[in-house]
Every structure is written in C-alpha cells, then in structure tokens.
Amino acid sequence: MAPKSKKRKSSGLKKGIKHDKNKELPPVGEEEEAINMESMGHPEIYPLVLTTKTQEIFNCRIDEDLTDEQPYKLLKKQDILADFSNRAAVSDFYPVKKIIQAYPGDEILLVYDKDFKYGLNFYIIGTEEGKELYFNPPEVPEEQEEHIEFKELTPEDVFTYKPPCSKPWVSLGSEKEIEEESVKESTKQITYMISRKRHEFGAPIKFSDQNASSVKDGYIECTAYPDRNFVIKLFEKDVGMQAIPQVMDTSTQTKWAYPKTATTQYYPREFLEEEKEILKQSKPLADFLSNMSISVEIALQQNEITNTFIDDWKCLAEEEGTFGDKTDTHLKEYQSFTDLHNLTEKMVTCVSWHPQIYGLIAVSVAVRLSFEDRVHFSGKLLLQPSLILFWSFSDPIHPQLMLESPEDIFCFKFCPSNPNIIAGGCINGQIVMWDITAHADRIENIKTGGSRSKKATLKPMFLLEPDMNKEELYIRYCAVSSIENGHKKVITDIHWLPDTFEINRMGSVFENRSGICCQLVTCSADCTVCFWDIRPLKTTTPQPTDKKKEETIEIPSDIPSTFLHLDLSWKPLSKLKLSKGETTLDHCPTKISLGEERLLYKTQDKALAENKAMKSGEMNPYQNLESGLANILKPIEDFCTKFFVGTEEGEVIYTDWKLERDPETGRLMTRKPVGLYTVHDSAVHDGTVHTVQRSPFYKDIILTVGGWNVAIWKENVMIGPLLQSSCAPKRYTSGHWSLTRPGVFYIGREDGYIDIWDLLEKTHEPAQSQNICITMITCIKPWTFSGIKCKPLLSERGQAPGICETAQGNS
C-alpha cells in the first residue's frame, strides 16, 4: 500500500497539477495489480521495478542512460509490447500491461525514481497528460524548491474559505476490498434455549459410587487395539552366542595360618672319634681344664662337707609321720604251722630260719615236762622221736623234713657256711649234728615248685599243692658228741664260730685255716662253756670211746659220713668254767653272745679265700674237713676274745675265753670274768636271762632280756646298762632285735603278747603291744626278705601240739 504520510510531500508536489489534496483518489484501472499513485494524487504514475535486464533491453540503465539530469526515458509502446510477447509474465512491465496497452500515445515516459518517491525505482506515467505535465513543467524540480518556498509563501496568500462541494462518488475499487474483508455469516445461527426449574438450582448434591460398567454408556472408552499398521514384525535378530562350559564361582574362607619356618633336628651333633682325639690333644682344652678344675673341686668339696639345703624342720617332721601310723606297725599273723602227727603237748624250744631258702623254718620241739615227769615217762619218751621240723610256707600242716635226735633239742643252729649242716644241743648235754645235704634238693624244691617268681613271693607258696611232699622224711642225726666229755646238763645255747677265725685249746685265736665254720661254742646248765671243733682231731688218743664204738648201733647206711669221726667221740676243744669266784656256785650260762669281728683280709688271705671259693665250688668242704688242718695256724693279734654270758640268775657276765695257765697249779684255767654287768651289785634281771644279743647295727650294744625287764648294755661300759626298763606286768620270755631298725626290738611275754619297743619313740614302755596267742612266747626270730618283713613268733600251745606261728609286721 502506498504510505500515505510520506506522500504528503509528493501530493504537495502534485498540487500544481491537481490542487486537490483532500480529494479522494480515483480508483486505479481495471487491472487489479496495477498500483498507481492515486493515493498521492497522481493517478497516472505507476511505480515499477525494473531489473537490470530490463534496463539493458530498454537502455534505461541506471546511471548510464538515466542520470540525474535526465531521469526519464521515452519508451516506445511497441518495444514494451514486444517485451511482453518475449518475456510474458517475466517482463517488468507486466503489472502495467493494461495501462500500456491502453496508452494512447506511442511513447511512454519512464522515470527513474531515484529517491523512491513512489516506492519503487521506476515509474511510468500512464497518461499523455501526465507526460506532458512532466515535460512541460521543467520547473518541476523548481517546483520542488518552490514547494518548500511555497509553504512559506502560502501564508502570504489570502486564504479564502470555500465550503466543500459535494461531488459524485467515484468508485475507485475500494468497495471490492471492503466486500472481501467484511465478515458475513455463512450459515444461519441456530438458537438454543435451555431452561431449568429454578428450585433445582443450588440443591445439595449427593455423590454416590457407581460402577461405570453397570450403567449403559456410563463411560466411553477408547480401547487399545493392535493396530496392524503399527506392528513391526521382527524378521531378523542379530544375536551373539557362545558355547561355554558351565562354570560356577564359589569362594571359601580358610583359616590362614602364619607360615613359620621351623626346623627339627633329628640327630644330635656329635664329634667323630678323630675329632675328639684332636680336641683332646689341644692345648686350650688342657688350659681350660686346669683352670676350671679348681673351682669345680671347690664346689664338689662344699657339697661333701655339708648339705646347705637341708630343711631341718622338714626332716624332723618326716620322722613324726612314720610313727603315727599304727596300722602299719601292727603285726599280722601270717602263717601258723601245726604238726598233726605228734599230738602230745610240745613246746617249741628253738626256731631258726633257713639262712638261704625263703620260707623255710626249722623248729625244734620238746616235750613240756618237768624233770620228774621226764624221768617218769622216760620209757615213753624214748619211743617218741625228738624232732626238728622243717616248715615251709607252702604247707602249714606237713613238715617238709624232720630231723631226728636222740634227745629233745633245746637249741640248734644252722651252720652259716653250709646250711645243710645243723648243730643242735640236747637236753642231756649232747651235741647233735645233722647233714641234710642229700635232702637239700628236697627242701629247695619247695621253693621251686609251682610258679616261682620272687616278686609275688607269697602266693606261689600257697599255690603249691600240699601233697607234693607227702612223704615225710625222718632224717637221722649224723653224729653226737661224747656224753662223758661234753656237757652234763642241758645245753642252753649253741653257736657256730664265724669262719674268719679259729681257736685252739688255749683259746688263742688264729686265722681260720679251713675257711668254713668249723667250731662251735656251747654253754650249758653245768656252768661250763665249751668250744668244739668239728674237724677230726689229729691226735686220736685211745679213749674209752673205743668201747663205745663197739657198742654203737649200726649206723644206717643212708646217713652221710660227714661227721662220722665225731660220732660219740666228740670232745670239746676247750672247756670254760664260769665260776663265781670263791663260792662254789657257778654261773649258769643261758646265753652267750660272741663278738662278731670282721677281719680285714690281708692279701695273703685272699689266696685262702679263693681257695675256699674254689673248694666250695668243687665239693662240699665239710666232706673234707681235714684239708684245712694242713695249713699253718696263723695267730690273729688284737682279737677280742671276750664274750657276754647271760646266766640263770639274771646276771650278765663279760668274760674271756682265753685260758691261762695257773701259775701255781700249771693247769689251764679260765680267766676271771672281766666284768660283771650289774647295777648296784645286784643282778639286773630278776629272772633267767634268756636273751643276750648284740644289735645287728651296733656291735657293742647288747640287749639282755630276762625276768621282768629288759636292759641294753654297751660293751666296756661297766657302770650299768644304757637302758633298763621298768618291771613289766608280765614276765618276758623272749626277745630279739629288729633286723631292720636299730632302735626296735621285740619282746615276747608269757601271756602271749609281743611288745614292740621302739627306743626312738618311747623308752619307758613298749611302743606297741600286741597279742599273738594265748600261751607263752618262747622264741622270736625275725627275718627280712626283699620286700616283706616276716617275724616268726613261736609259741606253744596249751593243748595242741606245738604251733609255730609267723607273723608279719611292717616297721
């Protein structure tokens, strides 16, 4: 559209032409497209755009053909029309085609609108009059200037008011536009009227639930349906596959132990022999030893001197502990032996353990009759053999061996060198010798019969069948001593002299030539002590014994001939008379106790000992007693020839067995007793001393038991006993030191009690007293074995035959 405000000036320009500013511009021509400047008051001006091509065709190029001085061109109408035919719609003149066709003239004025007055760069004048106007008023440019001046000049003009006069409306084509632009209703509008009753407005509303599907048309849904148009079928799929083995991942937690380096040495590192030798030779070792040995020896000597770590309190306490336990020291009866064969009342006179065989006891029994009764029944007694019975633990009823003797044996002893030799003292003063070498295996077999093991010491004995050794052997004696030359009364004690020395007729002590026990000492109630030698005498003086020999009964053949030389002709080597001095009463010895001196063998004697060993290996030395006599007597100096004697009166005598020559009479006589052990010149014991025994631990401590009390003496101490017990309620009938404990000794009472004295516990009374049997205890002999301590307690039974009991006690 043509800007109206801008064109006010141009309309002023064209005032000269029309002088009609307020006029309505006449509508443009028929062509709707042609736009003219009617709005500006120049209806004949049609702006155009001319392209460069058009400009070249029509030679109206800008700045070449059309300049400022001549900005117009007269174009031939035919040219334009030819252009129309050439370029048809493309032609720039096409918008004004009708105008040009209707142009009456031949030349059309084209003006270059440099300032774009009319909007475009060219315009044509569509009428002749316009063209004329254009050319004619060359004062057009001047008019322009005049326009400006005109404005100023206008107030100079007198303004006359003319009222507008109405003119007939000229349609310029605007009613078409209006018609186009106006809005008209195409259809007729329909009118609805909705009404409702008024009271229905504002009523309270109540909502309720309702299933939408229950009511018809309650809801409208738009269901989804598979639209085929939108379905894409997947015909191909690209998938990757891999065939793998089935794997599974698992994990577990194990206990993590710290790894440690450890080594084990299997063998100790040791030096080889050569290395040891080399080291031994080395000087540093010698230096080291010489340096260190000093301090080591000091330390060793310190230990030898004293034990610095002794706890004295503790040591004391230990002693207490052992005493308090009474059950241990109780004596338990172990075994009782009864002789079923000999039913008369018998008394056990002496008991001895076999020195070597365990569990074998030899018991001598005697008839318990007074002297008158003996005489009375002497005929009867002759029929009954007097026996020494050998009992074994295996058989409490049957004795293993029975040794016969002519008379009742009051005491007997095994020979220490050869346990098969037994010497016994009879009631009539004879000494009886037995040799049971032939039967040794019999009694030894007792030991070996059955399961034998030293550990289970007792049981095997009992398991032995009692009928093993059924046959009882009566073994006859080998020899008896001479009746006239020996003792006149009962032999109360018999001892073997040890095999270390021997005595000659004078009582001098010599070295034992034979190396075996070959001498005996006996004491009897005829107040004499006799020494006997079992070896055959060199000088065989014709004796009245020859007569006896002829009268002798034929000796049975099964008796060994060991002591045949002694039989019935045995004379004592020396005889000691124990006299009390002036008075005629003599001591009646009941027991003697010799000193047990152990001689240290000199080198010369070693040969003797070896010889002895050899001989005993070869044969029984007792078979060959003469061999020893061949040796030379060697005197032993400084031998104590004194011994203790216990008497019937209760005294203890310490006397010497060496005979001396009476300077006056020239006879051999005994020395005076060295000492009489008395207390205040009176006998210690009130009754017969029946036990004089040296302690097995201390050789100079002697135990004497007699009467109602006990005394302990020390040799060479004449003042009195070391210990003298008070009078006991019952008579003491037997006593013995304990073989294991130095302070313990056993006393047997006449009421069958055993008193165990422990000097370390109590000195005024027995530590323990225990009843063993009813009757008097006649003999006590302890024995120790490895492990078990047995004490045989022997007693007599009142009515029953003599019973030997063994009791066991721990101490």
Partner 1 sequence: MAEVEETLKRIQNHKGVIGTMVVNAEGIPIRTTLDNSTTVQYAGLLHQLTMKARSTVRDIDPQNDLTFLRIRSKKHEIMVAPDKEYLLIVIQNPCE
- Using the contact rule CB under 8 A, the part of the chain among 300-308, 321-329, 418-426, 786-794 near partner 1 is 300-308
Give 153 or 289: the residue with its C-beta nearer to partner 1.
289
Give 269 or 547: the residue with its C-beta nearer to partner 1.
269
- Using the contact rule CB under 8 A, the part of the chain among 15-23, 81-89, 277-285, 727-735 near partner 1 is 277-285
**Six-digit token string for 772:** 């063993």
**Least CB distance to partner 1 at residue 292 (A):** 4
Give 301 or 604: the residue with its C-beta nearer to partner 1.
301
Residue 306 binds to partner 1 (criterion: CB under 8 A): yes
DSSP one-letter code for 555:
P
User: Which residues, in sequence order, are CB contacts of 481 under 8 Å at separation 6+?
Assistant: 430, 431, 432, 532, 566, 568, 570, 571, 572
**Least CB distance to partner 1 at residue 318 (A):** 14
Q: 245 burial class (0-12, 13-18, 19+ CB within 10 angstroms)?
A: exposed
Give 209 or 312: the residue with its C-beta nearer to partner 1.
312
Are 365 and 346 spatial neighbours (Cβ–Cβ below 8 Å)?
A: yes
**Least CB distance to partner 1 at residue 283 (A):** 10
Q: What's the one-letter identity of residue 70?
A: Q
**Six-digit token string for 540:** 């065989």
**The total number of residues written for the chain in this structure:** 811
695: left (phi over 0), alpha (psi -120 to 50) or beta: beta
- Pick from 263, 307, 453, 604: which binds partner 1 (CB under 8 A)? 307
- Using the contact rule CB under 8 A, the part of the chain among 289-297, 468-476, 536-544, 555-563 near partner 1 is 289-297
**Least CB distance to partner 1 at residue 363 (A):** 42
- Pick from 276, 341, 459, 661: which binds partner 1 (CB under 8 A)? 276
339 CB-side CA count, 13 A: 30
**Least CB distance to partner 1 at residue 784 (A):** 23
**Six-digit token string for 137:** 């008023």
Give 160 or 281: the residue with its C-beta nearer to partner 1.
281
Residue 474 binds to partner 1 (criterion: CB under 8 A): no
Q: Provide the β-strand partners of residue 236.
A: none
- Using the contact rule CB under 8 A, the part of the chain among 265-273, 540-548, 631-639, 649-657 near partner 1 is 265-273
Give 90 or 292: the residue with its C-beta nearer to partner 1.
292
Residue 272 binds to partner 1 (criterion: CB under 8 A): no
- 659-665 long-range contacts, CB within 8 A, separation 24+: 659/505, 659/506, 659/507, 659/574, 659/576
- Pick from 216, 280, 680, 764: which binds partner 1 (CB under 8 A)? 280
DSSP one-letter code for 430:
-
537 CB-side CA count, 13 A: 16
- Pick from 279, 717, 774, 788: which binds partner 1 (CB under 8 A)? 279
- Using the contact rule CB under 8 A, the part of the chain among 275-283, 353-361, 723-731, 742-750 near partner 1 is 275-283
**Least CB distance to partner 1 at residue 602 (A):** 25
- Pick from 49, 148, 300, 727: which binds partner 1 (CB under 8 A)? 300
Determine the distance from the C-alpha atom of residue 90 to the mean position of all C-alpha atoms in its chain, rounded to a whole number. 125
Give 191 or 265: the residue with its C-beta nearer to partner 1.
265
Residue 319 binds to partner 1 (criterion: CB under 8 A): no
- Pick from 168, 284, 542, 666: which binds partner 1 (CB under 8 A)? 284
Are 484 and 402 spatial neighbours (Cβ–Cβ below 8 Å)?
A: no
- Pick from 289, 382, 722, 788: which binds partner 1 (CB under 8 A)? 289
| CA distance linking residue 583 with residue 127, whole number of Å | 226
| CA distance linking residue 510 with residue 531, whole number of Å | 14
How many residues interact with partner 1 (rule CB under 8 A)? 29
DSSP one-letter code for 204:
P
Give 183 or 310: the residue with its C-beta nearer to partner 1.
310
- Using the contact rule CB under 8 A, the part of the chain among 89-97, 294-302, 551-559, 750-758 near partner 1 is 294-302
| CA distance linking residue 136 with residue 130, whole number of Å | 9
- Pick from 20, 139, 297, 441: which binds partner 1 (CB under 8 A)? 297
- Pick from 90, 102, 212, 286: which binds partner 1 (CB under 8 A)? 286
Q: 784 burial class (0-12, 13-18, 19+ CB within 10 angstroms)?
A: middle
**Least CB distance to partner 1 at residue 313 (A):** 16
Question: Is the four-CA dihedral 119, 124, 126, 128 of positive or negative sign?
Answer: positive
**Six-digit token string for 642:** 């004194």
Residue 299 binds to partner 1 (criterion: CB under 8 A): yes
**Six-digit token string for 491:** 């032999």
Helix (H) / strand (E) containing 47 = strand 45-48
Interaction site with partner 1 (CB under 8 A): 268-271, 276, 279-281, 284-286, 288-293, 295-297, 299-301, 303-304, 306-307, 309-310
